[in-house]
Chain A
Amino acid sequence: MRRAHCWPRSKRSSPLHDAKSEPAPIRRGAVSDQLWLGLGCTALAAVIALIWIPMDSGTGLIEVQRRRITLGDALAPTLAAGFIGLGGCVLLLQSLAAKPGEPAARLQRSHLLFLLRFLAICGLGLVLMRWAGPLAVALADPFVAADLNYRSLRDTAPWKYIGYLTGGTFIAAALMAGAEGRWRPRHLALALATSLALALLFDLPLDGLLLPPNGDL
């Protein structure tokens, strides 16, 4: 039933949103989702304007310095929060005025599950990226005569590539496998080739650039 109200396949798979954005896939009877979005944004705006901004800004809305009146640092974010709140109120009113059965875009549980899986893959990939290099150096240290440490080697091949290749390959391969719904060795090969190509693309022609995570270490 849901499929009947979705965009045609070719439209749904279209790329980057242009100025005229495509609406997300829609579902009948989901007006309450708009209500929740409106409520959430109104509440968020209230928290930002009444708690966060007053507690975390150096100056208020209007400042008087040496008898000169100036705009304070809190004014612009307060107005921004006002726009969020106004948009939330508009959504609230629209959803209250809408009849049951109106089409509305909806955030589903499966979307949140996808996000969780996706963030887990990225998180694990970034941990690998951050620690694979120093770990490799620590493992190699007993076998060489010199005293190795990653910081001094972070701009030296092959050490500087280890973290990027490990983490990058993991992220790309896991996402390819996730998109296809099964694991195949060619995902690993493609991901490794991509990471290697990107590492060389950034590292060889452009001097002074550091691949992740070497700028932090």
Chain B
Amino acid sequence: MGLTDYIWLGVLAVFQGPEAFDLFGLSVSITVLMVVAGFILGIVVGATPGLAGPMAMAIALPLLISAFGFTPDALLPVMGFLIGVMKGATLGGAVPAILFNTPGTPDAYLTTLDGHPMTRAGQARKALKIAHVSSATGDTFSDVVLILCAPFLAVVIEGYLDLPEKTALLILSLAFVASVIGNSVGKGLIAMGLGLMAAYIGTGEDFYPRLSFGTQSLARGFPVTTAVLGVLILGEVFKSLDDLRRDRHRPDAPKAPKPTDHAALSRADLRRIAPYIARSAVIGTAVGALPGIGSTLAATLGHTSGARRHARKHPDRLPFGKGAPEGIAATEAANSAVSGANLIPVLSLGIPGNAAAVFLILATESIGGFNPGPAVFRIPPDRINPELVVAFGLFTMMMLANLMNWTIGGVFMRMAGVMARARKEFLMPMVLLLTLTVIYVQDPRMIAICFAIGFGVLGYLMRRVGMSPLPFVIAFLLARRLEDTARQAFSATGGDAWFLFTHPIAALFMALAVVSVGLSLRRSAGQQRP
């Protein structure tokens, strides 16, 4: 079987999977339905301040697995839903930012700077339309880059990297994530160490489960869902509840002025924003391809770069921050371009780069039958590689979600404006109860709920001391793989304790890991200087 056969099989797996219902004689597959459902939910969640795409993905995942089971047939519908949420949330985040000056997602903060002034000037429809076009363009560009780059990168890695190099690559990824996320490399290293430590409790090769204090509760280790949902979701819920308590007398979101403009964008409008969209799409894709660097930085870089160009080329126009349509375009294209590119390290290396990718990896790990990494893109001469079919199924679903982004995205985006008025005081306790229930459904023990609350407390404390929880989560997910690969590499090299330094590529990766930490330390030292 050749590459084109695999692509075709991937497309068929999406459109000819198990049937959900029949529409005018046309069979609609459950996978397509799940992508649509996820996309709409994503827009709603993205448009609701206090909720975010990863939160919805985290809560939906165990429910989806309970509904679809652990069979290979479940993989595409579940992943399709998660991809839909991921893409819809990116689009939805701009809605409250533009209409109510409240970003629905962190990366939509810069959208408020130009989006809300346009709303106040009665141009809300035009601002939403610009955000929609820019977001959809950035997202589509990023997906095309993913589809072209991930297989190529995976083939190179599979061809050149052996066990010592793969071990060193995992260490490099962890060091990079610890260095670039957050504002302190020291805190990044602590978060990473804590994540590794938590993952090693109750595991190991010996008969005695290590670090379990001899108790049955710890002997089974911490389930991934409990730890990830605890630190990422419950930690955020705790912090939100605390913030709400402090900001009790905050006024409600102001009512958006009635729009007086037409929704349609003219050719002149499109020509005006096109260079900003193009530049930001490239910036967002480049930033997104690196694990750990998320859409907030991409949006900042896209906005800054756009502002410089704008000031240089069009000093006569409205400047960025005062209601310039180019400002919305630059920000939205950059933050949306991250979502596709972020899957490059997931699919080619099996390393999650952001919170959304964490849940995609979690889905594949929970269901089985697909192990993201270099082996996915292997084409064996004598048999079919089912993982490659799934990979092309994923690409198909991403393009399908993009199509919805272009077609129905704008309509749902305008409708979701009402969600910005949802009260966080009521939403957060509901999310907490839902998360605890989801954790119990996955692991029906009250102790699992207690563990989750414990991880939530850890996530809350990490946020309070300015420590990002993401290195913890990524380290927790990669910890077992790192140890297994290191054990295999140690055996394969005949017990060479220096295997990470005696193989040239592995040594290079280790040097890069040290350099990434060193550079971050230097950057911190530079920031401390007056």
Given contacts A19-B293, A57-B204, A76-B196, contact A70 B490 (CB under 8 A): yes
> Shortest beta-carbon distance, B358 to chain A, in Å?
10
What secondary structure prevails in chain B residues at the interface with A? helix
Give every chain A residue within 8 A of B504 (Cβ-Cβ): none
1/0 per residue, CB under 8 A from A, across B209-239: the answer is: 0111110000000000000000011001010
Q: Does A50 contact B (CB under 8 A)?
A: no
Q: How far is the CB of A110 from chain B (nearest CB, A)?
A: 8
Chain B residues in 8 Å Cβ range of A106: 464-465
Partner of A80, one of B185, B197, B236, B297: B197
Most buried by B among A71, A106, A129: A71
Would B464 and A15 count as touching, CB distance under 8 A?
A: no
Stretch with Cβ within 8 A of A (4 or more), from B3-11, B262-270, B421-429 = B421-429
A64-103: CB near B (< 8 Å → 1, else 0) gives 0000111111101101111111111111001001110010
Least Cβ–Cβ distance between A8 and chain B, in angstroms: 9
Which chain B residues numbered 458 to 483 have a C-beta less than 8 Å away from chain A? 460-461, 463-470, 479, 482-483
- Complex contacts, B468 vs chain A, CB 8 Å: 17, 21
B193 and A179 contact, CB distance less than 8 A: no
Known: A14-B103, A21-B468. A80 touches B528 (CB 8 A): no
B483/A76 in contact, CB under 8 A? yes
B181 partner, pick from A21, A175, A211, beta carbons under 8 A = A21
Indicate if A213 sits at the interface (CB-CB under 8 A): yes
The reply on A1 being an interface residue by CB < 8 A is no
Q: Which of A73, A98, A102, A181 contacts B248 (CB 8 A)?
A: A181
Contact between B433 and A198, CB atoms less than 8 A apart? yes
Interface contact A179-B425, CB-CB below 8 Å: yes
Residue of A72, A81, A97, A216 touching B525 (CB-CB under 8 A): A97
Cβ-defined contact, A18 with B197, below 8 A: no
Tell me whether A213 and B437 are in contact in the complex, defined as CB-CB below 8 angstroms, given that A15-B49, A87-B187 are known contacts: no
CB distance from A146 to the nearest CB of B (A): 26
Residues in B neighbouring A198, C-beta threshold 8 A: 433-434, 437
Are A83 and B193 in contact, CB atoms less than 8 angstroms apart?
yes
Q: Is the CB–CB distance between B486 and A71 below 8 Å?
A: yes
B487 contact set on A, CB distance < 8 A: 70-71
Q: How far is the CB of A10 from chain B (nearest CB, A)?
A: 5
Known: A15-B105, A97-B528, A212-B449. A88 touches B49 (CB 8 A): no
Bound-state Cα–Cα, A216 to B447, Å: 9
A19–B295 touching, CB < 8 Å? yes
Docked-complex contact A53 and B211, CB < 8 angstroms: yes
The segment from B32-40, B50-58, B311-319, B386-394 found at the interface with A is B50-58
**Chain B residues within 8 Å of A53, by CB:** 210-211
Which one, B120-128, B274-282, B373-381, B438-446, is touching chain A?
Answer: B438-446
The answer to whether A172 has its CB under 8 Å from any CB of chain B is yes
Q: How far is the CB of B215 from chain A (nearest CB, A)?
A: 11
A198–B107 CA distance with the chains assembled, in angstroms: 31
A172: chain B residues at CB < 8 Å are: 429-430, 432-433
In the complex, the answer to whether B426 meets A190 with C-beta atoms within 8 Å is yes
User: By the criterion CB–CB under 8 Å, are B105 and A18 in contact?
Assistant: yes
Q: Is B284 an interface residue (CB 8 A)?
A: no
Q: Jot down 19 A-B pairs with beta carbons below 8 A, ordered by A.
A: A13-B102, A15-B49, A16-B54, A16-B233, A18-B106, A19-B181, A19-B292, A23-B466, A71-B490, A73-B204, A77-B197, A80-B200, A84-B189, A84-B193, A90-B186, A105-B465, A122-B453, A181-B245, A214-B444
Residues of A within 8 A of B (CB): 9-24, 26, 33, 37-38, 41, 45, 48, 52-53, 56-59, 62, 68-74, 76-77, 79-91, 94, 97-99, 102, 104-108, 111, 114-115, 118-119, 122, 126, 129-130, 164, 168, 171-173, 175-176, 178-181, 190-191, 194-195, 198, 202, 205-206, 209-216
Beyond A57-B204, A111-B460, A126-B449, 13 additional contacts (C-beta under 8 Å) are A16-B51, A17-B469, A23-B466, A53-B210, A58-B208, A70-B490, A85-B193, A87-B190, A90-B521, A105-B464, A179-B424, A198-B434, A216-B444
